[in-house]
Amino acid sequence: MSEMTAHHGRSPRSGRGDSRAAHAEHGSVLKASGVWKAYHRGWWPRRRTLEVLKGSDLSLVPGEVVGLVGENGSGKSTLMKVLVGDLVADTGAVERTGSFGYCPQVPVLYERLSCDEHLDLFGAAYGLGAGDLARSRERLYEDLDFARFAETWVEELSGGTRSKLNLALAVLHDPALLFLDEPYAGFDWDTYQRFWEMTGERREAGASLLIISHFIADEDRFDRIYDLIDGRTVLR
């Protein structure tokens, strides 16, 4: 996957019971069924196979915030990459509808471009007009509080500000579905709160978000949470 395609107070919670009921009333914007993925190491006769995903299932409906939790090395990022199309599953099916954005765990950025230049570049890739790009840029700089770094090269940014830019690039085009892999890693407390305010606003506008993490502290912010255990998703 290229660097460009890698991104494509208020609580967002509506109640997990309400969310499960919504599945019966609305079509899914994301549905993964029986996803298997294995990695192969070495050459015959000493070739080894490591099964990472062993039949994972997962779904989201419009306006839902869903968590995917697992220990380091459990396969969370592998599943995320399968869901966004960066990896091909060995077996199983993934269905997506509408536009989506992807915020990878490791920021995918160009060291010698500024924040503004990144937003211009990705805005053009998303097909945003000048007016829409300007409005989205202003909103994200305000929501994540990093307008003062607009003209700063990435190589000069702190890890936390890189994470802000990484997230901004994923949501720049207001996608209907967001895949966020450890999106608030490196955020300070103020930015963490800003993240959830922004998430709540997008959820209320009908967007769906899948957030993966090795640990979730604020479970009440999620409509549903899946645990990834031994290669399979288990609904809490």
Q: What is the pLDDT of residues 5-16, one digit of tens each?
A: 456 533 334 444
pLDDT for position 104: 92
Whether residue 212 contacts residue 68, with contact meaning beta carbons closer than 8 Å, is answered with: yes
Residue 109 has pLDDT above 90, yes or no: yes
42-46, 88-92, 115-119: lowest mean pLDDT where?
A: 42-46
Q: CA-to-CA distance for 17 and 5, rounded, in angstroms?
A: 35
pLDDT for position 64: 96
Whether residue 65 contacts residue 15, with contact meaning beta carbons closer than 8 Å, is answered with: no
Of residues 214 and 110, more confidently modeled: 110
Q: What's the first-to-final CA gap in the chain, in angstroms?
A: 32
Residue 175 has pLDDT above 90, yes or no: yes
pLDDT for position 3: 46
Instruction: Supply the range of the domain harboring residue 224.
Output: 4-235
Residue 99 has pLDDT above 90, yes or no: yes
The strand pair at 232-235 and 48-60 is best described as unpaired
pLDDT for position 49: 79
Output the CA–CA distances (angstroms, integers) from residue 107 to 5, 6, 44, 157, 230, in the order listed: 13, 9, 36, 12, 27
Q: Mean pLDDT over all residues of the chain?
A: 88
Q: What is the CATH number of the domain that holds 148?
A: 3.40.50.300
pTM as predicted = 0.85
* Residues 128-153, mean pLDDT to the nearest whole number: 97
**What total of structural domains would you count in the chain?**
1
Cβ neighbors of 29 (< 8 A, separation 6 or more) are 60, 61, 62, 96, 97, 98, 176, 177, 208
pLDDT for position 83: 96
